[in-house]
Structure 1
Amino acid sequence: MRSLLSRFDAFLAPAPEPARVAWLKDWTYAHRGLHAPGGAVENSPAAFRAAIAAGLGIECDIQRSRDHAAMVYHDWDFARLHGDTGTGAAHDATEWRALRYAYGDEGPIALSDLLEMVAGQVPLLIEIKSRRGYDVHRSCKSVNAALAGYAGRHGVMSFDPRVSRWFYRHEPTRLRGLVMREDAYGHTQRAWQRHAALWVARPDFIAYHVKALPNRFAASLRARGVPLLTWTVDSPSARETAKAHADGSIAEGAGLG
């Protein structure tokens, strides 16, 4: 059965052209930028500046504002980082930018702002957030519009396989990734779900939960030439797992070494 599934994987989700994805393996990516308690806030301009200064790639998250701007932010609401009861989808980009983090004088920025800041200095992994019933295709369009003309190295990824599928169909020149986990919080706990997500997504790379490594499924993809990144590498032991079983790490804190 495993052999049959592997054959279907190879047929329906073929490995990418090696030269196209080789750069993914050359970097460590700062998870939500280079942030720390009492220091730069996750996904903030300060965290991104720190990552650039440290020579790290950047992983960031995308939510969508009421006026369909791609905003660099992880949560669906503002409670955790701003103590505000509002939701991102209820505010336009101007209102998002007016917010301030609990400390410092900065607030959320749009993807277009981040691209202007990075300007190709380091690569970007852009994770589009999604959930049940959400119009994630609208987010794909917003991200794609922001990236128009951007020449720096970047990849777009999501837990939702529809994101990678959208870029495969509408903008196949962009690198596209599928984020996967197998624990109680994931959507791919069972083997058939992992294979189904892969077949829908047709990704150029995989970003796999470090706590699920090593495993046969991830190893088989890597052996076929699909770059395997892993997240969130946040301890020395996780860093060792990443070195042994992945091609690159999305890391923070002690996982950065």
Structure 2
Amino acid sequence: MSGLPTDFLRLPIAHRALHDVGDGRPENSRAAIGAAIEAGYGIEIDLQLSRDGRAMVFHDYDLGRLTGDKGPIRQREAAELSKIGLLGGHEGIPGFAEVLALVGGRVPLLVELKDQHGQMGETDGVLERAAAADLHGYDGPLALMSFNPHMVVRMAELAPGWPRGIVSCGYEAEDWPLLKDETRARLRDIPDYEAAGCSFISHHAPDLGRERVAGLKAAGAGVLCWTIRTPEAEAEARKVADNVTFEGFRAAIPA
């Protein structure tokens, strides 16, 4: 239906892996990834860039929320980042290559490349090239996505064998204050889906009723959604979405 491996549409996807700091499993940590594998879930992770051009598995642009340090992740080298402890756990920030080796194709891996310049425009391509280099030789179900459609287009050139998607939402002004009005208006309609050769979207769950989502689904796109935090919200999202990205509870795995 979507060009995605079937398990991306069957196995619920653990948002930033199966994280729970109360159990020593921070977001995007090896511990959270291992727990998701053990539970049989798909895994969503985020990629940011180190100063020396390595793809690191970390969500935020700044270290402050998730570690005891402060400052942009992009101002630290990969070796230093690997030693910066994640709050609520017992490990440093992992690199993408290390996570690929850890997952080893055992479960679906949904990889989000974070926009690097704040306006969803053209990038310098460094993160994309780093991610593509790490992907070389990987054998397992994996898909690439980004809010920034330029990054998705670039990944189509650098890593054409992997399914691609766009992370999408309603782009409300209060949620995206740094984006220009015209940029938000354009991205809201997911206009780059076809140009980027996408096979899926990952859409904000409260906005799944958007006409463009229905149109893409009718045309064969896989529809994932983010971020589901209760079984009730999951049931509602699945009226439109083929699968959910979840956190804060354990989504049921279909038989």
Same-fold status (TM-score > 0.5)? yes
State how far apart, in whole Å, the 1-side matches of 2:153 and 2:197 are. 6
Cα offset for 1:81? 1.2
Q: Which residue does the alignment assign to 1:34?
A: 18
| Count of equivalent residues | 241
* TM, length-normalised to structure 1: 0.86
Q: Which residue does the alignment assign to 1:222?
A: 217
Cα offset for 1:194? 1.7
Cα offset for 1:203? 1.4
Q: Which residue does the alignment assign to 2:239?
A: 244
Q: Which amino acid aligns with 1:86?
A: G
SS in 2 for 1:237: helix
Question: Contact 1:162–1:200 (CA<8 Å) still a contact in 2?
Answer: no
Q: Which runs of 5+ in 2 are unaligned?
A: none
Q: Which residue does the alignment assign to 1:168?
A: 156
Cα offset for 1:222? 0.8
State how far apart, in whole Å, the 2-side matches of 1:166 and 1:181 are. 21
Question: Contact 2:168–2:190 (CA<8 Å) still a contact in 1?
Answer: no
Cα offset for 1:250? 0.7
Q: Please identify which structure carries the higher helix content.
A: 1
Question: Contact 1:234–1:256 (CA<8 Å) still a contact in 2?
Answer: no
Task: List per-residue Cα deviations over 1:39-88 (Å, max 9, x = no partner).
Answer: 21000111001100100000000001011110000011111111312221
For residues 215 and 98 of structure 1, do their structure 2 counterparts lie closer, same or farther at Cα, with a shift above 3 Å needed?
A: same
Matched, 1:87 2:59: no
- Of the three residues 184, 197, 203, the one matched with 2:192 is 197
Matched, 1:99 2:84: yes
Matched, 1:210 2:217: no
Q: Which amino acid aligns with 2:220?
A: G
SS in 2 for 1:256: coil
Question: Contact 1:62–1:74 (CA<8 Å) still a contact in 2?
Answer: yes
For residues 192 and 126 of structure 1, do their structure 2 counterparts lie closer, same or farther at Cα, with a shift above 3 Å needed?
A: closer
Q: Which amino acid aligns with 2:204?
A: H
SS in 2 for 1:254: coil
Q: Percent identity between the aligned chains? A: 35
State how far apart, in whole Å, the 1-side matches of 2:107 and 2:152 are. 22
State how far apart, in whole Å, the 2-side matches of 1:103 and 1:211 are. 30
Cα offset for 1:240? 1.2
Cα offset for 1:138? 1.2
Q: Which residue does the alignment assign to 2:128?
A: 140
Q: Which residue does the alignment assign to 1:149?
A: 137
Q: Which amino acid aligns with 1:96?
A: L
Q: Which amino acid aligns with 1:224?
A: A
Q: Which amino acid aligns with 1:129?
A: K
Q: Which amino acid aligns with 1:235?
A: T
Q: Which residue does the alignment assign to 1:50?
A: 35
Cα offset for 1:172? 1.8
* TM, length-normalised to structure 2: 0.87
Q: Which runs of 5+ in 1 are unaligned?
A: 1-16
Q: Which amino acid aligns with 1:75?
A: D
Equivalent runs, 1:58-97 vs 2, <5 Å: 58-97=43-82
Cα offset for 1:158? 0.3
State how far apart, in whole Å, the 1-side matches of 2:220 and 2:207 are. 19
Question: Contact 1:33–1:44 (CA<8 Å) still a contact in 2?
Answer: yes
SS in 1 for 2:44: strand
Question: Contact 2:165–2:193 (CA<8 Å) still a contact in 1?
Answer: no
Q: Which residue does the alignment assign to 2:96?
A: 111
Give the stretch that moved more between structures: 219-228 or 19-28.
Answer: 19-28
Task: List per-residue Cα deviations over 1:81-137 (Å, max 9, x = no partner).
Answer: 113122211111100001112233211100101011110110100000012378352
Q: Which amino acid aligns with 2:18?
A: L
Cα offset for 1:196? 2.7
